[in-house]
Amino acid sequence: MLTHLHIQNLAIIEEVELEFHPGMTVLTGETGAGKSILIDALGLILGDRGDSSIIRPDSDKSEIVATFDITENGEIFTLLDEQSISCDNQELIVRRIVNKDGRSRAYINSSLVSVQVLRQIGEVLVNIHGQHAHQSLSHRTNQRYLLDSFAGHKIIIDDLNTICSEWKSIDEKLSSISSDSKSYDSTMELLGYQIKELEDLHLSIGEYDDLEEEYKRLSNISELIKISQKALQLLSEHELSAESALRHTIHDFKDLQKSDPKLENFITLLENTSIQLTDTVDEIRQYSDNLETNPDRLNEVDNRLNLLMDIARKHQVHARNLPEHYEMLTSRLNELKSNYDSINEMVERQKNIWGKYEILANKLHDSRVKNANTMSKAVTKHLSGLGMPEGKFIIDISSQKYDVPVKDGTDQVEFLISLNPGSKPQPMRKIASGGELSRISLAIQLVTKQMNLFTTMIFDEVDAGIGGKTADIVGELLKDLSVDHQVFCVTHLPQVASRANNHVQVSKSSNTNETHAQVKQLDKKERIEEIARMLGGMRISQKTLAHAKEMLAL
């Protein structure tokens, strides 16, 4: 429900602040006063194209802010979630700014959005009937939705959607297998060869790193022996070795220990060092004793490393990753075998799903045809009371052929209108007269109002070209529709205006330099005066005032 509208610098409107309420609200005023500007403002909020021509002269930008209570609009929350737009307090604030350079920005609850997103969300907030862009009832998707809602098809359509999802899941698996099957034999042969090649290597995890370490040691064995022997000479075996120097130093300090007790600490440290040095020398000697050249083993390790690297290059992996690569290839081979073992089962499942789909789609088609006839008669009956006695409303249903299940069934639904005897029924979107289109939309909404497709509906001059009894009927029907919806109506007829819960008057004033539009929410006394003006023109008599009071009282 629209609860608030703020307009700044739009056409002849300098600034307007309006609060709206449930029920029926009428917008009245002289022709050219600017009533349509309010509809244009809402159109911009709902995603209509905006350019610099709409900006009030001498202003840099136009700005429109609308606030909606979306407590009872379940569909909007799904759309907001898809766009990652937060909405914590059941209130939606939509802001549109059009700059002088023609560029525009749109915000929903402070989130910057594209005009496409604005239009998508706008279509579930408000429906404008008339000569403006948001004629959502002219869209085939909404027409099908209205028919299905009228007929109570939700359960069967949910079942169809479930079937479509199941079909799609299987079809994606089959498509993947089908893609593989184009080279299945060659793929299986290649995988078998690669796995056999790796199996013949008798790989072990970590083997490459172990071999690489061993190769480095074997290839440098002579240098290792040389360095080890040199270390033993310097540390232990030479007459001036480190061990010999330590022993002499410890002996000298012990001889002088009586002269200076502090030498005891040095002696302790030197003795510990001597012990560690002795242990180190023993380790080096043991290591040196085990070192011996082994050309055969070096050649064996070198050959093994070269073999691993050659095969790794063929498989385009690092040699150390060959064991993991082998596991991956084995898993891939098993997966292919498993997929092809189950392909017949999946094909059979698809056949069963398609059979179920056809039964449900045919059942839905039959029900649509039956309910389309009922709904067409009901809408046509309303058209007669809305000043179109020769009008006929027809719902055309054509069943389409598809190779795969499609959501919502196989039918294409379109609302057709014939306004004159002998004239060929035309799609709603091709009806030329905005007033006629508004009344046709009103008739449809009256028949389908229990579906609550749109919480807020706007009828722009729905009374164009009618009067008298028909105007009374239109007013009564709009009032009836406003019981379950928020209804706005731009009207010139007092029969319609008198039935509103809320009344907004639009007027304008001019001087030599500029024109201003004034928008005012009328109280009870002001409503009497405005309806009297609509009844009697500029000259308002006591009779017209009394008539206006009577109409409001009724």
Q: One digit per residue, pLDDT tens: the chain, 554 residues?
A: 999 999 999 988 999 999 999 999 999 988 878 888 888 899 899 888 888 888 998 899 999 999 999 887 777 888 888 888 888 778 899 999 999 988 999 999 989 999 999 988 888 888 877 654 445 677 888 889 889 989 999 899 999 999 999 999 988 877 776 655 556 667 778 888 899 999 988 988 888 888 988 888 878 787 888 888 888 888 887 777 888 888 888 888 888 888 888 888 888 898 899 899 888 988 888 888 777 777 888 888 888 889 999 999 988 999 999 999 999 999 888 877 776 767 778 888 889 999 999 999 999 999 999 999 999 999 999 888 888 888 899 999 999 888 889 989 999 999 999 988 888 898 887 775 666 777 888 888 888 875 555 678 888 877 777 778 888 888 888 898 898 889 999 998 999 999 999 999 999 888 777 888 889 999 999 999 999 999 887 678 888 899 999 999 88
C-alpha distances in Å from residue 92, one per residue of 24, 43, 167, 384, 454? 21, 16, 38, 39, 15
Distance set, CA 286 to CA 161, 229, 230, 436 (Å): 79, 11, 14, 108
Helix (H, G, I), strand (E, B) or coil at 536: helix
Q: How far apart (Å, rounded) are the C-alpha atoms in residues 304 and 291?
A: 22
Question: Are 8 and 14 a contacting pair, CB within 8 Å?
Answer: yes
Map tokens 């995988």 to a residue: 191
> For 161-175, what is each residue's pLDDT tens digit?
999 999 999 888 777
Q: What is the Cα–Cα distance from 278 to 286, expressed in whole angstroms? A: 12
Q: 3-class SS at 508?
A: strand
DSSP single-letter state for residue 432: -
Task: Please state the three-class secondary structure of 75-128 as a single string.
Answer: HHHHHHHHCCCCCCCCEEEEEEEEECCCCEEEEECCEEECHHHHHHHHCCCEEE
Token pair 């690669």 in the structure block, residue = 194
34: alpha, beta or left? (left if phi > 0; alpha if psi -120 to 50): left
At 134 the pLDDT is 47
Residues with Cβ within 8 Å of 500's Cβ and at least 6 positions away in sequence, in order, are 23, 24, 25, 26, 479, 489
Q: Which of 151, 288, 140, 286 is nearest to 222 (CA)?
A: 288
Dist. CA 463–CA 27, nearest whole Å: 13
Q: How far apart are CA 94 and CA 83, in angstroms?
A: 14
Please report, in angstroms and rounded to a whole number, the separation of the first and last CA atoms in the chain: 27
The H or E element containing residue 457 is: strand 456-460
| Domain architecture of the chain: domains with CATH | 1-125+454-522 (3.40.50.300), 187-333 (no CATH), 523-554 (no CATH)
Q: What share of the chain is helix, strand, coil (3-state, %, to 5)?
A: 55, 15, 25
Cβ pair 528, 549 in contact under 8 A: yes
CA 5 from centroid of its chain's CA atoms: 28
Q: Given this model, what pLDDT does residue 252 score?
A: 84
Most distant CA atoms of the chain, gap in Å: 142
CA distance 428 to 158: 28
The full length of the chain comes to: 554
Burial of 330 (0-12, 13-18, 19+ CB in 10 A): middle
Whether residue 65 contacts residue 93, with contact meaning beta carbons closer than 8 Å, is answered with yes
Residues 339 and 212: their CA atoms lie apart, in Å, by: 40
At how many degrees (to 10) do helices 221-232 and 263-290 cross? Answer: 150
| Helix, coil or strand: residue 486 | strand
d(CA 466, CA 414): 27
The enclosing H or E element of 458 equals: strand 456-460
Q: Which residues contact 134 (CB under 8 A, 6 or more apart)?
A: 43, 46, 47, 48, 122, 123, 126, 127, 128
pLDDT at 132: 47
| Helix, strand counts (H, E) of the chain | 17, 15
Handedness of CA 116, 122, 127, 133 (dihedral sign): negative
Is residue 288 within 8 A of residue 225, CB to CB? The reply is yes
Residue 216: the pLDDT is: 84
